[in-house]
Structure 1
Amino acid sequence: MAISFYKYQGTGNDFVMVDNRKLAFPASDESFIKRLCDRRIGIGADGLILLQDHADYDFEMVYFNADGRLGSMCGNGARCTVRFARALGVIEDVACFLAADGEHQASVERDLIQLKMNEVKGVEQIGEDYFLNTGSPHYIRFVDDVENLDVYEEGRAIRYNDRFKAEGTNVNFVQRLSDSEVFVRTYERGVEDETLSCGTGVTAAALVAGMLGMQSPIKVKTLGGNLEVAFEQVDEGFKSIYLIGPAKQVFTGSVSL
Structure 2
Amino acid sequence: MGSGKNSSTAARKARIEEMRRAEQARERRNRALVVAAAVVVVVGLVVGGVALVDSRSDSGTKGAKGTKGSTASGDAKNSGDSGHFTTGKDGVRTWSGKLSRTHVTTSVSYPMHPPVGGNHNPVWLDCNGDVYAKPVRDENAVHALEHGAVWVTYTDKAAKADVDALAAKVKKTPYSLMSPYANQAAPLILSAWGHQVTVKSASDPEVAKFFATYVQGQQTPEPGASCTGGVMK
TM-score, with normalisation over the residues of structure 1? 0.27
Greater Rg, structure 1 or structure 2?
2
TM-score, with normalisation over the residues of structure 2? 0.29
Higher helix share: 2
Of the two structures, which has the highest relative contact order with CA contacts closer than 8 Å and spacing of 6 or more? 1
